[in-house]
Structure 1
């Protein structure tokens, strides 16, 4: 089963993990990593390594990170670059993506990454109300 690291600036990773658990239930081999204002890249690397150690050395790991180019992404990309055979990194973390990751943990990394990209994009929608039907839609 795929192991997952959820990473973000601030406590977003903890919050989205909690939200996903409310919907999908508690998950094994999922770790949230937060990057706080008083921390640096070395702190992130240590947190990532602690999470990876808890999964075991042979685990396939998917990093779900909030923002391309931010410190959580940069630190994770350094780790993934050394382990491309069993690790992948995806940014743009949102709740539909995380829930679908939980539901798709039996997929390989090569299968799940494009699948989650589509899920994340499909999770962005807008509500368009027609004026004379507005009350009926709510």
Structure 2
């Protein structure tokens, strides 16, 4: 079993988790961690929350999707990775990434993360360019 969290600055994580419920139902199992508000107002508190999540997982895999690569939430989650072999952190969360990860039938968490991140990258498209030149593939450089 795996434990999946979305961690963000402010309420972004809650919004993403609520959107998942609209798309695939309430039983998706992803939980939000909203930093710098409510009970988590400092980086130290955030790191304690991540540590508590790992302890609660009792050795099972913990996957933390964070909002911003290099941001304080991501850095705090990364410190947790350094302490535990069963923790995985993925930066740059979006709905496509979460959906692909949750619905993937890969055998391992690492395989699911690799699949989901590759698929999510392909879903980031500048639509104006596609509409103006349908043969142009998003992401191509002149």
The bucket for the TM-score relative to the shorter chain is 0.7 to 0.9
Give the TM-score normalised by the residue count of structure 1: 0.81
**5+ long unaligned stretches in structure 2:** 134-142
CA contact (8 A) 2:20 2:28 kept: no
Q: Structure 1 residues 81 and 27, CA, compared in 2 at 3 Å: closer, same or farther? A: farther
Distance 1:28 1:94 in 2: 15
Partner residue, 1:63? 64
Aligned equivalents of 1:27, 1:42: Cα separation in 2: 31
* 2:139 alignment partner in structure 1: none
- Kindly indicate whether residue 91 of structure 2 is the aligned counterpart of residue 107 of structure 1: no
Cα distance change on mapping 1:126 and 1:60 into 2, 3 Å = same
Which segment is superposed worse, 113-122 or 26-35? Answer: 26-35
**Superposition TM-score, scaled by structure 2 size:** 0.79
Q: Specify which of 33, 52, 55 is matched with residue 54 of structure 2.
A: 52
Deviates more, 1:118-127 or 1:21-30: 21-30
Aligned length in residues: 129
Closer/same/farther in 2, CA of residues 130 and 71 from structure 1, 3 Å limit? closer
1:35 correspondence with 2:35: yes
Return the alpha-carbon distance in structure 2 between the equivalents of residues 14 and 6 of structure 1: 8
SS where residue 27 of structure 1 aligns?
helix
RMSD between aligned residues: 2.2
- Post-superposition CA distance 1:71-113 (Å, at most 9, x none): 11111111111112x2211111011001112212763122122
Q: Report the 3-state secondary structure (helix = DSSP H, G, I; strand = E; otherwise coil) of the residue aligned with 1:114.
A: helix
Matches within 5 A, 1:78-93: 78-84=79-85, 86-93=86-93
Moved more, 12-21 or 118-127: 118-127
